[in-house]
Amino acid sequence: MGLVGSMGAVLAPSTPIGSRLVNAATAAPPLPQGRRVIVIGAGMAGLAAARKLLASGLSVTILEARDRIGGRVWTDVHDGIPLDMGAGWIHGPEAGNPISALTKEAGAKTFMTDDDSIIVIGANGKEVTEEQFGRGEKRVKKTLRRIATRMEEDDQTDLSLAKAIDRTDPGALRDPFVQYELTSNIEFDTGGWLEALSAKNYLGDEKYPGKDLILPDGYGAIPRLLASGLDIRLRQIVTHIEHNPTGVSVSIGATTLNADFAVVTLPLGVLAAKSVPINPPLSHAKQLAMSRLGVGQVNKIFLIFDHAFWPLKTQYFGFHSPIRGRFAYFMNYRTFSPFNCLVTFGFGLEGGIVERMSEAQLIAEITPHLKTLFGPQASAPKRAICTHWNEDPFARGAYCFASVGSTKKDHKIMAQPEGQRLFFAGEHTHEQYRATVHGAYLSGIREADRILASL
């Protein structure tokens, strides 16, 4: 397919589209004038890029495949309960996380979570004592420290974290205290699984330290704020991207739009699946980086009850689940809302497995765990609502992770423009803050700045 018309002349698509936040069913207004940018994807990266470009005087149109904005930041309401299906926490809001200022701008209600407000229960139903917990934590820390030193000193070739742990502390992976520590911290945080995570680089990113914030009425307030005033076209599945030194053309089925620039914020999993062909094809370097980076698997299961039978003031419940990564961690809604809801998770490999279970299967498997955790008064949830980030064709995974053989540089490569007109943003393109909302947001601003600098 060749580029249609002169660059800068945007063709009206045959599908009726509208201005601002619209669905495909409404009438098409005139397309904007001036330097034109198409942003592909209305997640945090796309919204941040579009907002900055619009504020700098460019004409910006966002094409979004779904019938909603926000991408992996999505508050879905069930039985009147706001459920954050994707991102839930703003990490380190008091340490410079830029999303923190946006919550204030949005006037959103916030709640500071407390990681130390946790009860951990063993598979036998007995509470893990501080002494036992400390011993597990110490063993993990010591092992990981030894691995890090070895990786640095010997300039070793990379290997999986599971192998590195096994070599450093044989048998550790069978210790339930160690398993719990590894899954509830590393597998949750990275979305990767120990057998795939790079022993060298699994911790290669940076964090805003301190406590975390949640938005009891839903994280969706943030994309809504960013979307204000933007020309966003929903239900526009981009099927093809072409670029040359003078511009880009973006196809949505049979309809093609032209612009001076495009910002591609397709998630790593979508790019890797090659479901949106790009012509000329992505550079060899980018294709290699893409094949090295991992796409993490994290899914949430929201358990909704008629009444609460658990300690209302405890933020989290940890569980020595017999299957590493499956239902090992529970968050208590009652600490910040009136709703009788617990959220549990599938991390790493289990993240992919739980989303293939039916609601009845989830309830059948989780209810005995709840009885182990909270005693015979625990009842089965009336609903178990599971997210499906892997199966979702517009996400194809939760967030990126450093798999064996990948390096921090791979994120930088993913952020490199292709030619002069095609730019890339998204959490996977942020070297420091990959896999996060703030990383996605900052990457969008970075690419807007890059376009502005090129003018």
Ligand X SMILES: Cc1cc2nc3c(=O)[nH]c(=O)nc-3n(C[C@H](O)[C@H](O)[C@H](O)COP(=O)(O)OP(=O)(O)OC[C@H]3O[C@@H](n4cnc5c(N)ncnc54)[C@H](O)[C@@H]3O)c2cc1C
CB of 334: closest distance to ligand X in angstroms?
19
Structure tokens at 432: 């420091």
Which one, of 428, 433, 354, 365, lies nearest residue 387 by Cα?
354
Q: Least distance (Å) from ligand X to the CB of residue 101?
A: 15
276 lies in the site for ligand X, by CB under 6 A: yes
266 binds ligand X (CB under 6 A): yes
Is the peptide bond prior to 98 cis by the omega test (within 30 degrees of 0)? no
Told to check if 238 binds ligand X by CB under 6 A, we report yes
The length of the chain, given as a count of residues: 455
Q: Which stretch binds ligand X (CB under 6 A): 1-9, 68-76, 106-114, 355-363?
A: 68-76
- 265 touching ligand X, by CB under 6 A: yes
Q: Which of 35, 36, 72, 421 binds ligand X (CB under 6 A)?
A: 72
What the block records as the tokens of 91 is 């990490």
Question: Is 233 one of the binding residues for ligand X (CB under 6 A)?
Answer: no
Residue 88 contacts ligand X per CB under 6 A: yes
Q: Does 446 help bind ligand X (rule: CB under 6 A)? A: no
Closest alpha carbon to 34 in 64, 56, 5, 15 = 56
The residue behind tokens 């194809």 is 396
Contact 43, 268 (CB under 8 A): no
Q: Which of positions 180-209 make contact with ligand X (CB under 6 A)?
A: none
DSSP character for 132? H
Read off φ and ψ for residue 423, nearest 5 degrees: -115, 155
DSSP one-letter string for 314-341: --EEEE--SSTTEEEEEEEGGGTSS--E
Report how far residue 184's alpha carbon sits from residue 379's, in angstroms, rounded to the nearest whole number.
Answer: 24
Which residues from 20-59 bind ligand X, rule CB under 6 A?
40-46
- Rule CB under 6 A: say whether 92 interacts with ligand X: no
Question: Of residues 91, 224, 243, 292, which one binds ligand X by CB under 6 A?
Answer: 91
Residue 404 engages ligand X in binding (rule: CB under 6 A): no
Q: What would the two tokens of residue 275 be?
A: 């479901």
- Kindly tell me which of 317 and 389 has the beta carbon lying closer to ligand X: 389
- Would you tell me which residues interact with ligand X (CB under 6 A)? 40-46, 63-66, 71-73, 86-89, 91, 237-238, 265-267, 270, 276, 298, 300, 387, 389, 394-395, 398-399, 426-427, 435-438, 440
